[in-house]
Amino acid sequence: MKDIVKVAFSHNCILKRVSKHALEIIRILLLMVTLANLLHAQTGAVTYVHDPCIIKSGNYYYVFSTGDRIEMRRAQNLQYWSRLDQAFQSIPEWGVQEVPGVSNIWAPDIFYRDSTYYLYYSLSTFGSTISRIGLAINTTLDPRSPEYQWIDQGKVIESNTENNYNAIDPNVAEDEVGRLWLSFGSFWSGIKLIELDTTTMKPYPNTPIHSIASRSGVGAVEAPYIIFKNGYYYLFVSFDFCCQGVNSTYKTMVGRSSVITGPYRDKYNVLMTAGGGHVVIEGDERWRGTGHCAVLLDGDENWLVHHAYDAQANGVPTLRIEKLIWDEENWPVIDNTSRVGDEAQSRIFHDYTLFQNYPNPFNIQTMISFTVPDAADVRINIYDVNGRLVNELANAKYQPGIHKLLFDGSSLISGVYFVQSIMLASGKREIFTKKIIFMK
């Protein structure tokens, strides 16, 4: 409300000679405009979101994303997001055994069918085809429910060094007749599609794998997402490179087919198996590497949900939601008049915050980030489980904004440590502590 009043009264210098009645009308109109903008604001726990997928359940929207044990967030209106506990307590033991060095769970997808939520997830390491897609089920997404429990169902599909594809980035789609399909893939020979048994929600034995998108040379394609609309199956994918902060070149591309197995073509009639796909959204001066999307078909409104790296915040991966509309030829385009998030992001530094390090657990190096809304003296220390100081990471004055510090743990032994921040400004003292896990 303070923001609304401030906006309205900032116009008083222009309105001094306007009659009192007219002034009140104009003030009301200004309040209405400001309220409309606030309704499109996206706030809360929207930073450090990578590879998001989304689903609506009851009165809430839920976002799942890459993290230590799969990050979970929810909102009632696509605007203010709250962080929930992570989906898993630990990486499934079967995955630890089969994927050497796995330390995080990547790129989930969420699907609902017959009173059950199906959470698909990826286990891999960078640059390797030794990868697995797993599955966990739940009957509710509400952590307060006594029925809430993710039950792991094990491996869905795998890839190994002898395969020319990579079994990560899963997405489940239903075709016109109710058959279910799993698309997946990253780099190598591209995007694959395989039919699922609707009983096990895993592939039928000996079922064929279809190739639906690929790029030659060094061109990367990954993160498929398929929807059915307007009589077509639309295949959204990400081209080029993620995970490089402001240097990320990710962009979201699309093609379509009248049959879920393809062939998919872009609006220029180029096959997606021949590098086709035209741009839905790509990075701009502020939002870099716009990719790994999901599409929410929510009644009459359609939304593109993805991550992007905020160049105004040192490249922090951030949840972005754009409204999709359809042109006269039934191709998806971004409705820039209804974009969710810019105003909220400009107000992201309203609190003193210490973020969870990323990645966590980590091997050698991890990023520790924090925000200060005002100039503040900041001290950040690393302690072992016995409370012994092992590293003084920061002890300086920082200006308002988000700040990132790279912590190198090469001198430490594997184990649990704690990062503590003390922030002092204008007589205010804020203390935060996060647990970090170092695995050599």
What distance in Å separates the CA atoms of residue 331 and residue 280, rounded to the nearest whole number?
9
- In order along its 440 residues, the chain shows pLDDT tens digits of 444 334 333 444 433 333 444 444 444 444 443 333 333 335 678 899 999 999 999 999 999 999 989 999 999 888 789 999 999 999 999 999 999 999 999 999 999 999 999 999 999 998 899 999 999 999 999 999 999 999 999 999 999 999 999 999 999 999 999 999 999 999 999 999 999 999 999 999 999 999 999 998 767 999 999 999 999 999 999 999 998 889 999 999 999 999 999 999 999 999 999 999 999 999 999 999 999 999 999 999 999 999 999 998 889 999 999 999 999 999 999 987 655 554 444 434 457 888 888 788 888 888 898 888 888 999 999 999 999 999 999 999 998 877 889 899 999 999 999 999 999 987 788 899 999 999 87
The two tokens of residue 317 are 């991966």
Distances (CA, A) of 344 to 33, 306, 336, 348: 15, 16, 16, 6
What the block records as the tokens of 138 is: 């739940």
Tell me the C-alpha distance between 69 and 121, whole Å.
10
- Which has the closest alpha carbon to 183: 116, 86, 107, 104? 107
Distance CA 40, CA 345 (A): 11
Find all residues with CB under 8 Å of 9, minimum gap 6, and list them: 27
Partners of 173 in the β-ladder? 181
- Distance (Å, whole) CA 240 – CA 406: 25
> Cα 69 vs. chain centroid, distance in angstroms?
14
Rounded to 5 degrees, φ, ψ at 284 are -125, -165
Place of tokens 């900032």: 10
CB 349 within 8 A of CB 400: yes
Q: Left, alpha or beta for 48 (phi > 0: left; psi -120 to 50: alpha)?
A: left
Pairing of strands 210-213, 221-229: unpaired
pLDDT of residue 337: 61
Residues carrying an active site annotation: 51, 222
pTM score: 0.71
Q: How far is CA 255 from CA 277, 278, 332, 439, in A?
A: 5, 7, 10, 41
Residue 12's CB: how many other CB atoms inside 10 A? Answer: 11
| pLDDT given for residue 28 in this prediction | 41
pLDDT at 370: 87
Confidence (pLDDT) at 219 = 75
